């Protein structure tokens, strides 16, 4: 993840997390306070419901008392109820209906002492029915209203009822009156938009719980006359419920506003974070780009900055570092140049020594002949003249190459056996056995004869050096064609010695510049050999083991057919 992305995310989260915490806190606090408010209202409303019930109970009791007193003085009631006078019977039958309407009751029943219905207001035609349990059970809960489920002709009626009695002509009559529970009372007890009150009684539909919760219950006696005779008192409840709609609406409102604020903040944070992270990371990226471009050959990057912050400091540090690098690079180049001159001098020295060695050998030989038998000197000189000439020619060519500093390779078909034979002739073996094993019908190789001679002189010289002083030391140079018997592809030249061989470590470093195991060696021989073979498109390998001698094998490609051998 890039620094810019991290910076961006950090800014966004730094904005969002506090906002989320704020929304959560506001939501929780709002819910807590609203719930507390509701609980207070519920307690008040429960008190109101109880007061209302007491008030309604008192009102019903007052109306029943008034009706009882009125009936006690009512002649037509007396005639109908006591004398059973036909003319007054219709009055009695209609009495409860009229009285119920006048008194604002929803249920009114007049019963005689055995529980026979004399007049019913809510169900006119239930007269003459026996219903003694109604006044008896209502009288069992004096002072309170009882929820009564009775019937009318069309539908059940749920009423809060009380009972009263009066006496006419020495006979006791009962009055049962009440108000409809659902429509009248519950309508008056409407508690507002968020609080509702429901009447729950055995067999009733359960309180709808979706979107509301029950917060208070007020029990009251319940009598279900629809169950038939033998029914007893049960318990009903006024259930106060709290609608969660307002809370939900508030919660949704807060959520909506929070989401809106979150969206706006997120958008703003993204823009600001993008701008800020871009602004912060741009100089860093610029520094990275400049730093990436720095190379030993390209140290001209400028890290100048007038910023006073950390980026300015970093830029100035990089600038100082580049300056130091620039100085170090100059010093390194100078050192390299000096090292290269030294190398060249050593290589020239090495090559000249190689070129002078045959001359020194010839001169030493001539001196010996001169001391032993001067008459043989012309003959010997004539015999060794070619060696001198070839050495001189070698040195001249060497001089020309170095004069060009970067000599080009002049490839032409070369006779490998001839060059090998010449090199071995020029090699002073000092008692070392030199064995030449030349292959027949070797193809000419495409090479520079001088480079090939330098290769062989180095390898044969190294081999002779390795066996010098060792009894039975032997150096064998072998040439042979490569490829199959039908078609040669080049020539393989093997220089093998019976010297001490090399360890693996020595072998790994054998071709490094300036690495040598010989006292007085330059450490450039094998390095030069490898470079020359590669320049001739040849291959080189070394087979050696400590105590088992060393075999240096290199192969050179064959010259194209038709090219003259040089």
Partner 1 sequence: MALSGPVDLAHALSPTNDSERLLFRQFAPTLVRLDCLGKVHPGLAESWQRSSDGLEWTFTLREGVHFTGTPLTALQVVGALVLPDAKALGIDSAVYLDDRRVRVRLHNVRDTLPSLFAEPALAVTGGLASEGGPIKRFVVSGTDGRPPIDFQLVENGDPRDAIDRGIDLAVTRDPAIAEYVAGRPELETYPLPWSRTYLLLQPSGAPPLTIASDSVRSSLARDAVRAEARPAEPPFWWDSLATCPAVPDHEGQPVTASRIVYPRDDEVARALAERLVALAGAGSSLRAAALDPAELAAALRDQTERAFVIAVQRESLAPCHDASAWPPGSSIQPLIDTRARAIVRRGSSPLTVDWDGTLRVLP
Binding residues for partner 1 (CB under 8 A): 86, 89-90, 93-94, 123-127, 129, 131, 151, 153-155, 225-226, 228-229
Minimum Å gap between C-beta 181 and partner 1 is 19
Question: How long, in residues, is the chain?
Answer: 566
Minimum Å gap between C-beta 153 and partner 1 is 4
Residues 6 or more apart from 183 whose CB is under 8 A from it? none
Minimum Å gap between C-beta 121 and partner 1 is 12
Which residues pair with residue 237 across a beta bridge?
200, 219
- Strand pairing class (146-151; 212-224): parallel
Q: Which is nearer to partner 1, 157 or 459 (CB)?
A: 157
Minimum Å gap between C-beta 74 and partner 1 is 18
The number of beta carbons lying within 10 Å of the beta carbon of residue 174 is 23
Distance CA 240, CA 217 (A): 6
Q: Which is nearer to partner 1, 88 or 414 (CB)?
A: 88
Distance CA 526, CA 516 (A): 9
Question: Over the range 291-313, which residues count as b (16 or more CB within 10 Å of their CB) and which as e?
Answer: eeebeeeebebebebeeeeebee
Q: Which is nearer to partner 1, 124 or 316 (CB)?
A: 124
Minimum Å gap between C-beta 125 and partner 1 is 4
Minimum Å gap between C-beta 232 and partner 1 is 15
Q: Which is nearer to partner 1, 149 or 401 (CB)?
A: 149
Distance CA 377, CA 370 (A): 6
Minimum Å gap between C-beta 130 and partner 1 is 9
Q: Which is nearer to partner 1, 82 or 428 (CB)?
A: 82
* DSSP helix/strand/coil, 497: strand
The beta-strand segments (E) located in 415-466 are: 433-437, 445-447
Distance CA 260, CA 19 (A): 11
Which residue reads 């929780």 in tokens?
Answer: 28
Q: Which is nearer to partner 1, 132 or 283 (CB)?
A: 132
Q: Which is nearer to partner 1, 132 or 312 (CB)?
A: 132
Minimum Å gap between C-beta 86 and partner 1 is 8
- Strand pairing class (474-483; 433-437): parallel
- Strand pairing class (445-447; 412-414): antiparallel
Q: Which is nearer to partner 1, 159 or 445 (CB)?
A: 159
């Amino acid at each position: 993840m890039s620094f810019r992305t991290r910076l961006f995310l950090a800014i966004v989260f730094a904005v969002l997390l506090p906002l989320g915490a704020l929304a959560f806190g506001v939501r929780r606090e709002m819910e807590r306070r609203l719930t507390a408010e509701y609980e207070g209202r519920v307690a008040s409303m429960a008190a109101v419901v109880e007061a209302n019930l007491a008030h309604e109970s008192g009102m019903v009791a007052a109306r029943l008392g008034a009706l009882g007193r009125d009936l006690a003085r009512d002649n037509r009631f007396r005639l109908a109820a006591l004398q059973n006078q036909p003319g007054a019977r219709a009055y009695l039958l209609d009495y409860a209906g009229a009285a119920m309407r006048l008194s604002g009751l929803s249920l009114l029943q007049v019963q005689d002492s055995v529980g026979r219905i004399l007049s019913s207001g809510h169900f006119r035609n239930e007269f003459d029915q026996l219903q003694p349990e109604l006044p008896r059970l209502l009288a069992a809960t004096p002072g309170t209203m009882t929820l009564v489920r009775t019937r009318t002709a069309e539908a059940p009626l749920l009423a809060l009822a009380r009972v009263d009695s009066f006496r006419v002509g020495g006979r006791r009559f009962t009055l049962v009156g009440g108000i409809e529970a659902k429509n009248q009372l519950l309508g008056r007890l409407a508690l507002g938009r968020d609080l509702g009150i429901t009447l729950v009684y055995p067999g009733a539909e359960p309180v709808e719980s979706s979107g509301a919760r029950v917060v208070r219950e007020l029990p009251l006696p319940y009598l279900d006359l629809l169950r038939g005779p033998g029914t007893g008192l049960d318990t009903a409840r006024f259930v106060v419920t709290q609608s969660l709609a307002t809370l939900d609406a508030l919660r949704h409102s807060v959520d909506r506003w929070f989401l809106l604020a979150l969206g706006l903040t997120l958008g703003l944070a993204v823009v600001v974070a993008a701008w800020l992270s871009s602004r912060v990371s741009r100089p860093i990226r610029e520094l990275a780009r400049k730093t990436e471009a720095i190379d030993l050959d390209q140290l001209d990057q400028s890290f100048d900055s007038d910023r006073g912050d950390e980026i300015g400091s970093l830029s100035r540090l990089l600038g100082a570092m580049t300056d130091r690098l620039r100085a170090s690079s100059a010093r390194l180049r100078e050192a390299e140049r000096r090292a290269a001159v030294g190398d060249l001098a050593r290589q020239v020295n090495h090559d000249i020594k190689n070129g002078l060695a045959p001359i020194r050998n010839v001169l030493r030989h001539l001196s010996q002949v001169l001391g032993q038998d001067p008459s043989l000197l012309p003959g010997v000189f004539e015999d060794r003249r070619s060696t001198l000439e070839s050495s001189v020619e070698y040195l001249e060519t060497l001089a020309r190459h170095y004069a060009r500093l970067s000599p080009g390779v002049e490839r032409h078909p070369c006779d490998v056996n001839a060059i090998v034979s010449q090199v071995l002739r020029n090699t002073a073996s000092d008692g070392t056995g030199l064995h030449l094993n030349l292959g027949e019908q070797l193809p000419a190789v495409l090479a520079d004869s001088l480079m090939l001679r330098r290769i062989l002189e180095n390898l044969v010289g190294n081999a002779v050096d390795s066996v010098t002083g060792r009894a039975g030391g032997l150096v064998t140079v072998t040439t042979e064609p490569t490829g199959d018997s039908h078609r040669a592809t080049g020539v393989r030249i093997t220089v093998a010695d019976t010297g001490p061989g090399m360890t693996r470590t020595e072998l790994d470093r054998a071709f490094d510049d300036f690495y040598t195991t010989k006292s007085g060696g330059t450490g450039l021989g094998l390095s030069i050999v490898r470079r020359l073979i590669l320049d001739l498109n040849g291959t080189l390998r070394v087979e050696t083991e400590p105590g088992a001698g060393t075999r240096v094998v290199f192969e050179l490609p064959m010259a194209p057919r038709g090219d003259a051998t040089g």
